[in-house]
Structure 1
Amino acid sequence: MLFVFLRRGTVITLARNVIKTLVLLALILVLIGLVAKQHYRVERSITLDVPSAAIKPWLWDLTQWQQWLALRQFDQQARLEVRAQAQGVGAHLGWQGQRSQGELSIVSDSASTLNYQLLVNNEYLSHGQFQLISSGEQTRILWQQQGEITLPVIGPYLVWFTEHTLANTMTHSLNNLKTVVELEHKDEQ
């Protein structure tokens, strides 16, 4: 009804301006996609009221991850499966879910550090680390993960999404881990 009151030239000018604005917006989004960062690094930590010896079995043994890893909180269909060995260099954990699939492999470990690599959907490789920092009867778990998404234009947008999703997963997982480890440690005393 509004167009009845407008002149034909005004409607054409308005349409041209809308198209120009949309093209300009699309160009800006492409330019941002071309120059924004394509790598991510997420770090989370939590302090548990237990010595590091009580935490290590929960991290170093991949069969225990099903009890605390928050993957299923974000993908109800996700199923974790330990493949090959469950501990040490070469230990391997895979998952298959409705939204994603992946493989995690332990690449090195020491008394206080566990390093792994993660391949998601057969194309996104990242590296992660758990570090245990002891202070008497308390232990701080520092969890870091970093990677890169090198898809042209959309890569940086996927990086932002990955950082957000990964940060939430890590936070939920560490809270789950704190609960199960502290409860088990309390029961053992």
Structure 2
Amino acid sequence: MRFIKRIIVTLLVLILILVGVSYLLPGKAEVSRSITIDAPASKIFPYVNSMQETEKWSPWLSRDPETKLAYTGPDAGVGNTLTWSSEHPQVGSGIQEIVESVENQTVKTALDFGDMGTAAASFTLQPEGDQTKVTWGFESDLGMNPMMRWMGLMMDEWVGSDYERGLSNLKTVVEGQG
């Protein structure tokens, strides 16, 4: 009986340590990737300023071609909203709305993943001669949830490669318009 009590006490202490350490971890998860595209910002901007246009280069839609998509609001710019739903665990369901748009410079979106939380994403277009550096960023407030803070440590690894693939797809689409 003493042995079982020691195991239970040890597990409780371990859990308390993990929870305590979680509050020392970052309260935000951030992911950012960039690519240089051989085109002016004016050629790239329409592809990031419209949820409908993201279908052409999204890194997630190829995972589940059966993803259900619905659009509301204007066709581009502030208020343009995408609602998606998929049974695929790496696609999931959610809502993304453009909340800020500065022509040929930046697009900011609000993401709502339902029970999985909310986040913000952004595209920044920075001219570099005849080319444009495109930076795709993501930020999520992890709150005081210990599990979310531990998961936040993995966000760059989980999402970073998708952002790289998406930016590569965007580069191919834009440069192919030639």
Please indicate the TM-score interval, normalised by the length of the shorter structure. Answer: 0.7 to 0.9
Note if 1:152 corresponds to 2:141. no
When the two structures are superposed, what TM-score results if normalisation uses the length of structure 2?
0.83
Cα distance change on mapping 1:74 and 1:33 into 2, 3 Å: farther
Counterpart amino acid of 1:140? K
Distance of 1:74 and 1:25 partners within structure 2: 38
Cα root mean square deviation, aligned: 2.4
Say if 1:63 and 1:82, in contact at 8 Å, map to a contact too. Answer: yes
How much does 1:101 deviate? 1.1
Deviations 1:61-87 (A, max 9, x none): 221111111123555653333223221
State which of 150, 172, 176 in structure 1 corresponds to 2:169.
176
Unaligned 5+ segments in structure 2 are none
When the two structures are superposed, what TM-score results if normalisation uses the length of structure 1?
0.79
Distance of 2:101 and 2:32 partners within structure 1: 19
Note if 1:115 corresponds to 2:108. yes
How much does 1:153 deviate? 2.2
Counterpart secondary structure, 1:68: coil
Count of residue pairs the alignment pairs up:
174
Please tell me whether Structure 1 or Structure 2 has the larger radius of gyration of its CA atoms: 1
Cα distance change on mapping 1:159 and 1:116 into 2, 3 Å: same
Which structure shows the bigger proportion of residues in helix conformation?
A: 1
How much does 1:95 deviate? 1.0
Of the structure 1 ranges 170-179 and 79-88, higher mean CA displacement relative to structure 2 is found in: 79-88
Of the structure 1 ranges 141-150 and 161-170, higher mean CA displacement relative to structure 2 is found in: 161-170
Note if 1:54 corresponds to 2:43. yes
In the TM superposition, what are the counterparts of 1:161-172 in structure 2 within 5 Å?
Answer: 161-172=154-165
* Fraction of identical pairs, as percent: 25
Distance of 1:131 and 1:90 partners within structure 2: 18
State which of 62, 74, 82 in structure 2 corresponds to 1:85.
74
Cα distance change on mapping 1:167 and 1:106 into 2, 3 Å: same
